Amino acid sequence: MLSLLLSLFLVSPANADVSVPRAKQYAWTTYDVAVLGGQSTGHALGLQLPAGSIVTDVWVYINTAFTDSGTGSLGLQCAGTNDLMAYNDITGFSAGTAVGRHLLPNAFPTGSIIPENAVAGALTLSSANGSIATACDVAAVVRSDAGYVPLTAGKLTAIIEYFKLY
């Protein structure tokens, strides 16, 4: 009887090499112009994504509507230039708006069995591969190119979904 119970509840050696999928994790941070300023530069948000992560989704919630004195543009980045969210004029989004998208890996070959995901919401989020080789700090970057102005008000919460490879 004891051997029957043990055989039912013990993992057999044949299954010892089966990988268990890694759970997705979530990180969030805020960018508040009233606290960090809206100057045309990068603003560190106090969030570090760990090495070996693959970002799968990014969501942006507008807590307070953004304003500027002309055409402002904001991006979110960590491991590369605006790799979490491409530059966007976010002044058109009212408080309470949530937008996001599933990040796409590098372009799939024609006929791939993995479908491309459509954008959910009006923000242009990065289509980079979302892979983080070394730990990186998340930053909000206010565009500084000619014709763009600093942000004068606004607050957002960014939610980043990822899983770790190692």
Question: Is the separation of the CB atoms in 143 and 72 below 8 Å?
Answer: yes
pLDDT of 54: 83
**Alpha helices, DSSP H only, in the chain?**
2-9, 33-36
| Band (23; pLDDT cuts 50, 70, 90) | confident
For range 73-101, the mean pLDDT: 87
pLDDT of 19: 47
CATH class for the domain made up of 23-107+118-164 = mainly beta
pLDDT of 104: 57
**Alpha helices, DSSP H only, in 10-130?**
33-36
| Measured distance CA(81)–CA(107) in Å, rounded | 18
| Measured distance CA(29)–CA(51) in Å, rounded | 18
**Alpha helices, DSSP H only, in 10-122?**
33-36
Single out the residue of 153, 133, 126, 139 nearest to residue 77, CA to CA. Answer: 139
- The predicted-structure confidence for 114-166, as pLDDT tens digits, reads as follows 444 433 344 554 445 567 888 999 999 999 999 999 999 999 999 998 888 77
pLDDT of 17: 39
pTM of the complete model beyond 0.85: no
Pick from 5-9, 38-42, 60-64, 89-93: least confident: 5-9
DSSP classification of residue 95 = T
Kindly tell me the sign of the dihedral angle through the C-alpha atoms of 74, 77, 80, 84.
negative
Mean pLDDT of the chain: 78
Strand arrangement of the beta sheet that strand 74-77 belongs to:
42-49, 136-142, 74-77, 85-88
Domain-by-domain residue ranges, the chain?
23-107+118-164
**Over pLDDT 90: what percentage of the chain?**
42
Cα torsion 22, 160, 127, 112 to 10°: value is: 30
